[in-house]
Amino acid sequence: MITTDQMRSIANALKTNEMTALREYLQHLFLSVLYAHPSSSRIYFKGGTAIHIIYRAPRFSEDLDFTVELPREAFTKTLDETFTHLTKHERLLFKERKTIAGRRYMMSTNDLPGYPPTFINLDFSFREDVLQPEKSPITSDFPITFTGFVWHLSKEELFAEKIRAIMTRKKGRDLYDLWYLSTLGVRPEAAMVQKKFDYYRMKRADSTAIMSRCNSFSVADFIQDLRPFVPIPERAKLSEFYDYVQAHLATTLA
pLDDT (tens digit per residue) in 185-230: 999 999 999 999 998 888 888 999 999 999 999 999 999 999 999 9
Edge-first strand listing for the sheet containing 150-153: 93-97, 103-109, 118-125, 64-68, 43-46, 150-153, 133-136
Q: Are 76 and 39 in contact (CB under 8 A)?
A: no
User: CB-based burial of residue 119 (10 Å sphere; 0-12 exposed, 13-18 middle, 19+ buried)?
Assistant: middle
pLDDT (0 to 100) of residue 115 = 86
What domains appear along the chain, each with residue ranges and CATH number? 4-153 (3.10.450.620), 156-252 (no CATH)
Residue 100 pLDDT more than 90? no
pLDDT (tens digit per residue) in 24-78: 999 999 999 999 999 999 999 999 999 999 999 999 999 999 999 999 999 999 9
Nearest-angstrom CA–CA distance, 207 and 190: 9
pLDDT tier for residue 89 given thresholds of 50, 70 and 90: confident
DSSP symbols for the chain: ---HHHHHHHHHHHTS-HHHHHHHHHHHHHHHHHTTSTTGGGEEEEHHHHHHHHH--SS--S-EEEEE-S-HHHHHHHHHHHHHHHHHHH--EEEEE--SSSEEEEEEE---TTS--EEEEEEEE-SS--SSEEEE----SSS----SPEEEE-HHHHHHHHHHHHHH---HHHHHHHHHHHHTT----HHHHHHHHHHTTPPP--HHHHHHHHHTS-HHHHHHHHGGGS-GGGGGGHHHHHHHHHHHHHHH--
The residue ranking higher by pLDDT, 2 or 129, is 129
pLDDT (0 to 100) of residue 49 = 98
Nearest-angstrom CA–CA distance, 143 and 249: 37
Percentage of residues of the chain with pLDDT beyond 90: 89
pLDDT (0 to 100) of residue 43 = 99
pLDDT tier for residue 181 given thresholds of 50, 70 and 90: very high
pLDDT (0 to 100) of residue 129 = 93
pLDDT (0 to 100) of residue 114 = 81
Closest CA to 48 of 69, 23, 17: 23
pLDDT tier for residue 3 given thresholds of 50, 70 and 90: confident
Q: Are 223 and 239 in contact (CB under 8 A)?
A: yes
Q: Are 160 and 196 in contact (CB under 8 A)?
A: yes
Q: Are 177 and 242 in contact (CB under 8 A)?
A: no
pLDDT (tens digit per residue) in 134-178: 999 999 999 999 999 999 999 999 999 999 999 999 999 999 999
Q: Are 106 and 95 in contact (CB under 8 A)?
A: yes
Per residue, the 3-state secondary structure of 73-138, as one string, reads HHHHHHHHHHHHHHHHHHCCEEEEECCCCCEEEEEEECCCCCCCCEEEEEEEECCCCCCCEEEECC
pTM of the model: 0.95
What is the average pLDDT across 97-124?
91
What is the average pLDDT across 3-16?
94
